[in-house]
């Protein structure tokens, strides 16, 4: 357990050491010419995306919880679908859809009677506004998830009392429901902002020079690793602020409603209000998932029908993506079982072993750190270990980097929190009495785990494994920086095609990534729907 925790902290410690060892000249140059612009862009992007995800996520969560309108049951789970769409794929799709000679602008010009883009064209999507809109449309489900769960757990009598005292539906939302759900709003927004900070593809496609993009260009384009490490250290300041924001939200996320409290019963909407509610909840799904997915499907069909074959490079990228995702999933699942079980044993033994729970939380910090920061921090110790192994094994080259092991380790550190959280939640649902009964019957601790806990953990293991698999399939920043030579995944192939402007070549890769992420999201939405129905029936 201690070794695993140190493995998570090692990249951050080496990152700080690398940044401190490069001298003051780098810092002076960065502070004068690089960091001001990149920091300003990052802050503006975070503020814009934060406002957008809070508006869409909280608004849609309240609509599907408090009101009944046509399509409500469908949208209650469909609003999660943008989680399956990586940010860089949404940017990839909408850049082509809104191109001056793309389908949308061509249609608008035909309706208005114009013949040329010189006569009429929409504002360029490559801007800060475009980045905020597209990232917000993809990341709002983080807020929707937390707010929906909080709204469903709120006692109905408080809202009814507010209505009795003369508050309208809107006033009840802003003065009663929203303040009670504020911790969930903070937690969901902080998660969305951490994903925004991790983004590299969408920001670069849309021409927004954030800190993450600056780290990548400084390392890869300028071959200046110390400067990249110093910029990454600047990002850690933003990460600490976001983690403090999330901790503040979680610290106060406790409300004693009691099981006997009745939940919110949806009010029936009719007329134009029902139509408006349907349109409002449908719009994020259409713009954030349906339109890009249909576009990618259409472009993929056209590409396959034109050539009647799929290129060997794409098949190789698919194979590499599957190998990477499977490797990361296996490593993360095994390590997460050890970490969660270790913390479970401490919880059963008493509060004197509470430090084990603290170690589990530290082991989950990787998800809060952007992939670019982890990659830079892991490169120095990884290269040192690589050189040692190459000399020991008489290996030509770098065994860890050239075989992709270093990439798997970095992705595993980043996604471990997903699996640890799911497995720990599954273990908490298993009463200690079952384990105690097994031990009294003569079973060892290991056999008790395999015969009692593991079968009961199967749903949590499957769900967490699917989520980790989907995240590893679409991971871009870490893969760009640590992939072996001539090792292309679907994500890096799409990134390269978009950089060259050959969108039709990348549509198939993008569609495959979306399909890989859709199944876990559907399972997550199904579990949310089941939970909602059980709470309403009780």
* Domain identity same for 46 and 135: yes
Q: Is residue 437 part of a domain?
A: yes
For the chain, helix (H) and strand (E) counts, in that order, are 28, 2
Count of the separate structural domains present in the chain: 2
Domain termination site, one of 277, 304, 331: 304
Paired strand residues for 67: 267
CA distance 211 to 238: 10
* Domain identity same for 293 and 405: no
DSSP for 394-416 reads T-SS-HHHHTTHHHHHHHHHHHH
How would you label 223-244 residue by residue, b for 16+ Cβ within 10 Å and e otherwise?
Answer: ebbbbbbbbbbbbbebbeebee
* Domain identity same for 299 and 329: no
Task: Find the CATH number of the domain harbouring 152.
Answer: 1.10.3720.10
Q: Is residue 102 part of a domain?
A: yes
* Domain identity same for 460 and 326: yes
Q: Is residue 177 part of a domain?
A: yes
Q: Is residue 260 part of a domain?
A: no
Q: Is residue 506 part of a domain?
A: no
pLDDT of residue 48: 95
DSSP E strand stretches across 394-517: none
**Domain range for 404:** 309-500
Q: Is residue 244 part of a domain?
A: no
* Domain identity same for 340 and 479: yes
* Domain identity same for 171 and 293: yes
Q: Is residue 25 part of a domain?
A: no
* Domain identity same for 283 and 388: no
Domain termination site, one of 251, 286, 304: 304
* Domain identity same for 322 and 457: yes
* Domain identity same for 61 and 185: yes
How open is the CA angle 455-458-463, to the nearest 5 degrees?
175
CA distance 492 to 473: 10
CA distance 340 to 449: 12
* Domain identity same for 346 and 277: no
pLDDT of residue 328: 93
CA distance 266 to 214: 47
CA distance 107 to 309: 31
* Domain identity same for 369 and 289: no
* Domain identity same for 389 and 295: no
Burial of 267 (0-12, 13-18, 19+ CB in 10 A): exposed
Q: Is residue 155 part of a domain?
A: yes
Q: Residue-wise pLDDT tens for the chain (538 aa)? A: 556 666 677 787 888 787 777 666 667 777 877 888 988 999 999 999 999 999 999 999 989 988 899 998 889 888 988 988 889 899 888 988 888 888 888 888 888 888 888 888 888 888 999 999 999 999 999 899 888 888 887 777 777 777 777 777 777 788 888 888 887 888 888 888 888 988 888 898 898 999 888 888 888 777 777 888 888 888 888 887 777 766 666 655 554 444 445 567 788 888 899 999 999 999 999 999 999 999 888 888 887 787 667 778 888 888 999 999 999 999 999 988 888 877 776 545 554 456 666 767 776 777 778 888 888 888 888 888 888 888 888 777 788 888 889 999 999 988 888 888 778 777 777 777 777 787 787 777 778 878 887 888 887 788 788 888 888 888 888 898 888 888 899 888 888 887 776 666 678 888 888 888 887 787 777 666 555 555 555 5
């Amino acid at each position: 357990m201690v070794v695993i925790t140190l493995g998570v902290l090692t990249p951050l410690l080496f990152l700080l050491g690398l940044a401190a060892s490069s001298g003051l000249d780098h810092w002076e140059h960065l502070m004068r010419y690089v960091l001001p612009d990149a920091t300003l862009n990052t802050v503006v992007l975070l503020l814009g995306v934060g406002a957008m995800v809070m508006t869409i996520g909280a608004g849609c969560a309240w609509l599907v919880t408090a009101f009944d309108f046509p399509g409500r049951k469908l949208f209650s789970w469909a609003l999660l679908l943008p989680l399956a769409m990586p940010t860089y794929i949404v940017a990839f799709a909408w850049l082509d859809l809104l191109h001056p000679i793309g389908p949308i602008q061509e249609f608008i010009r035909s309706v208005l009677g114009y013949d040329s883009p010189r006569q009429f064209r929409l504002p360029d999507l490559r801007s800060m506004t475009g980045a905020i809109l597209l990232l917000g449309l993809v990341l709002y489900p983080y807020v929707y998830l937390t707010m929906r769960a909080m709204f469903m757990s709120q006692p109905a009598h408080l809202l009814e009392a507010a209505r009795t005292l003369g508050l309208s539906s809107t006033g009840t939302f802003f003065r009663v429901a929203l303040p009670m759900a504020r911790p969930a709003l903070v937690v969901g927004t902080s998660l969305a902002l951490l994903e925004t900070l991790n983004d590299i593809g969408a920001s670069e496609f849309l021409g927004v020079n954030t800190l993450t993009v600056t780290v990548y260009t400084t390392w890869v384009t300028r071959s200046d690793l110390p400067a990249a490490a110093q910029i990454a250290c600047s990002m850690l300041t933003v990460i600490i602020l976001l983690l403090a924001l999330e901790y503040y939200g979680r610290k106060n996320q406790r409300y004693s409603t009691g099981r006997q409290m009745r939940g919110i019963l949806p009010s029936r909407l009719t007329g134009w209000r029902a139509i408006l509610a349907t349109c409002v909840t449908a719009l994020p799904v259409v713009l954030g998932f349906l339109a890009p997915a249909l576009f990618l499907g259409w472009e993929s069909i056209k590409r396959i029908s034109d050539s009647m074959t799929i290129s060997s490079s794409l098949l190789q990228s698919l194979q590499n993506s599957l190998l990477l995702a499977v490797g990361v999933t296996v490593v993360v699942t095994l390590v997460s079982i050890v970490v969660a079980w270790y913390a479970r044993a401490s919880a059963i033994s008493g509060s004197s072993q509470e430090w084990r729970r603290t170690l589990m939380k530290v082991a989950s910090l990787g998800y809060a750190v952007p992939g670019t920061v982890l990659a830079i921090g892991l490169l120095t110790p990884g290269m040192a270990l690589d050189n040692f192994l190459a000399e020991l094994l008489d290996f030509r080259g770098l065994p860890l980097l050239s075989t992709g092991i270093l990439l798997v380790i970095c992705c595993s550190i980043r996604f471990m929190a997903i699996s640890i959280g799911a497995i720990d939640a599954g273990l908490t649902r298993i009463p200690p009495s079952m384990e105690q009964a097994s031990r009294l019957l003569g079973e060892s601790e290991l056999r008790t785990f395999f015969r009692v806990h593991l079968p009961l953990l199967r749903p949590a293991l499957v769900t967490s494994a699917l989520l980790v698999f989907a995240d590893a399939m679409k991971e871009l920043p870490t893969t760009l920086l640590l992939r072996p030579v001539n090792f292309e995944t679907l994500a890096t192939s799409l990134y390269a095609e978009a950089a060259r402007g050959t969108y039709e070549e990348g549509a198939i890769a993008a569609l495959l990534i979306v399909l890989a992420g859709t199944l876990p999201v559907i399972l997550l939405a199904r579990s949310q729907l089941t939970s909602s129905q059980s709470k309403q029936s009780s």
